[in-house]
Amino acid sequence: MRIHSAIAATIAPALLLGQSMQPLAIPPLLEADTMHLVMAAHTHQFYPGVNTATYGVNGDYLGPTLVLQKGDTARIIVENQLNEITTMHWHGMHVPGEMDGGPHSIIEPGASWMAEYPVKNPAGTYWYHPHPHMLTAKQANLGIAGFIIVRDGEEAQLALPRTYGVDDFPVVIQDKKIISTGQMATYPLGDSLWVNGTPHPYLEVPAQVVRLRLLNGSIARIFPLGFDDNRNFAVIAGDGGLLPAPASTNRLWLGNGERAEILLDLTGLEGDSLLLKSYGNELGQSMPGSGNILFESSLLNGIAFPVLRIRIGSPTADPVTTIPSTLVTIPVPGESTSIRTRTKTITGTGMVAMGQFMINDEMYDMDVVNDTMLLGTNEVWHFVNNSNLAHPMHLHGVSFFVLERNGVPPPLWERGPKDVVLVDAGEDVKFIVHFGELAGADFPFMYHCHNLMHEDHMMMLQFMVLDPTSGISDQADTPVLISPSPTTGVVRFLAGHTVEHITVRDVLGRVVLERSGPLGKEGTLDLSAAPTGMLLVQLEGTGQRSVVRVVKE
């Protein structure tokens, strides 16, 4: 056991005691009309006799698994008992910008925030974690994260394991850097592997079909998962819900923030044992966790290592014994429905944490909205990675479907709804995305690299989703549309009333352009001379007034 003795030598002798296998911790379920989440600092003994400082949600480390039913209204009160600001983000959930818990939804120490939103996502595995600007890696690493399980009627019809902790298990995989005092360090790559906060975990499961809900909750490491007997397993869901049919594979790659649900058919195998491993030896040099010697050092780099020992016990009274051959019908929008193609080019060089990576040469600025989309529309996006490192790219408030990687369709297990996609160095990943939730300038959505080091180091940008029929107009008597936004110059306006006067202001209220005269209900307006950024276009006429936000690129 080269890894373990090396840890003992270089990390902390006390951790030697932690080498015995421990039963996998299963976070408690939380299912209620109004849920309370309390974030606070704690200590926990992950290794016997070693007190490690943590953050937790309603407990020492990590948080409860929230169960939401599609169609219900989620009401979640989040209380910040930490000594620093935080936010709480519902990763993967289709909620409006103001409920999304991004960096703008700051919860001060001692304060609370309530999120309330209709549950629109299909049944699947989502998660929550903090998202304060520059503090996400620290707070998530210390333990603020938890699962969200969405249930719905369609999934309930299927003969799938869904008894939590019995035949359906949450599995959040995190590598951890533990320094000699026994404390967790916010470091890109750790030397120890924890599942649900349990080092050296084992899980007892019944001899029948069981379901694992896998989440890569690490700061930066990529996990190519498989079993040590190289068996195939059935992937039934990706980030945002079920696939059309189970996809059989012996490897599943999970980038940071990505989820997958898998089924294992263990019928008749009572007494056997399986080992879930991460085949880090199969990672290319551009992947955090590979053996690339330029990366921050870690005892787990470049090797295959154990993730979770699975011991098979006796079956339950009412077991699921077959894997269904089909799951759900997913309406994947066709490329012809896209109203716009956006290309986001990733550049930069460096190691996993050290270095500066950028999206379209821009860096995060809380006060700048980088893109504006229209509610209810579909777009095709390309992430083109010209940097030397792989980046798991994530969009808030949406699910998308990967169409191609370098022109080739992705593996079957990657064809379900997703919200994070791993983009390797040299890759062009193309997906189609539907914008179904509103986000204005006050609480825009984020899109970013989910390597938490990169996210905290400015590899994040913001977008608004505006309603083209009414929401795009802030204070309109009648619906007004100005398109395109963002624009570089000429826009078309379409108002519900005759326009006699147009005033364009910048965000500080300074008039930057004026036009008068009978302009009709529709026409064009040249904004080339206006400054870049957010512009407020006021259209007045026949006693009516409308103000529309437009982004000038």
Do 487 and 493 touch, CB atoms closer than 8 A? no
Query: CA neighbours within 13 Å on the CB side: how many for 242?
Result: 24
Q: How far apart are CA 148 and CA 154, in angstroms?
A: 18
Do 144 and 136 touch, CB atoms closer than 8 A? no
448 binds ligand C2O (CB under 6 A): yes
70 binds ligand C2O (CB under 6 A): no
Stretch that binds ligand C2O, among 52-60, 288-296, 321-329, 446-454 (CB under 6 A): 446-454
Measured CA to CA in angstroms, residue 221 lies from 146, 214, 234, 280, 455 at distances of: 18, 14, 23, 9, 14
Q: Where are the alpha helices (DSSP H) in 346-407?
A: none
396 binds ligand C2O (CB under 6 A): yes
CB of 390 to Cu ion, least distance (A): 8
Count of beta carbons in the 10 Å neighbourhood of residue 290: 21
91 binds ligand C2O (CB under 6 A): yes
CB of 499 to Cu ion, least distance (A): 39
Q: How far apart are CA 222 and CA 189, in angstroms?
A: 10
131 binds ligand C2O (CB under 6 A): yes
The residues near 368 (Cβ < 8 Å, ≥ 6 apart) are 362, 462, 533
The residues near 524 (Cβ < 8 Å, ≥ 6 apart) are 490, 491, 492, 493
Among residues 138 and 454, whose Cβ is nearest to Cu ion? 454
Q: How far apart are CA 229 and CA 402, in angstroms?
A: 30
Stretch that binds ligand C2O, among 40-48, 51-59, 216-224, 444-452 (CB under 6 A): 444-452
* Partner touching 129 among Cu ion, ligand C2O, none, CB below 5 to 8 Å by kind: ligand C2O
457 binds ligand C2O (CB under 6 A): no
Among residues 305 and 431, whose Cβ is nearest to ligand C2O? 431
Among residues 423 and 481, whose Cβ is nearest to Cu ion? 423
Do 154 and 204 touch, CB atoms closer than 8 A? no
Among residues 446 and 550, whose Cβ is nearest to Cu ion? 446
Among residues 70 and 89, whose Cβ is nearest to ligand C2O? 89
CB of 229 to Cu ion, least distance (A): 33
* Partner touching 448 among Cu ion, ligand C2O, none, CB below 5 to 8 Å by kind: ligand C2O
b/e map of 220-232 (b: 16 or more CB within 10 Å)? bbbbbbbbeeeee
129 binds ligand C2O (CB under 6 A): yes
430 binds ligand C2O (CB under 6 A): no
Among residues 221 and 396, whose Cβ is nearest to Cu ion? 396
| Three-state secondary structure call for residue 272 | coil
By beta-carbon distance, which residue lies closest to ligand C2O? Answer: 91
Q: How far apart are CA 427 and CA 393, in angstroms?
A: 12
446 binds ligand C2O (CB under 6 A): yes
* Partner touching 451 among ligand C2O, Cu ion, none, CB below 5 to 8 Å by kind: Cu ion
Among residues 227 and 445, whose Cβ is nearest to ligand C2O? 445
| Three-state secondary structure call for residue 198 | strand
Among residues 199 and 255, whose Cβ is nearest to ligand C2O? 255
Stretch that binds ligand C2O, among 11-19, 234-242, 443-451, 487-495 (CB under 6 A): 443-451
Q: Which listed residue (257, 348, 392, 468) binds ligand C2O by CB under 6 A?
A: 257
Q: Where are the alpha helices (DSSP H) in 450-530?
A: 452-456
Among residues 89 and 505, whose Cβ is nearest to ligand C2O? 89
Do 92 and 239 touch, CB atoms closer than 8 A? yes
Count of beta carbons in the 10 Å neighbourhood of residue 436: 16
Q: Which residue reads 């879930």 in tokens?
A: 276
CB of 304 to ligand C2O, least distance (A): 27
Residues that bind ligand C2O (CB under 6 A): 89, 91, 129, 131, 257, 394, 396, 446, 448, 450
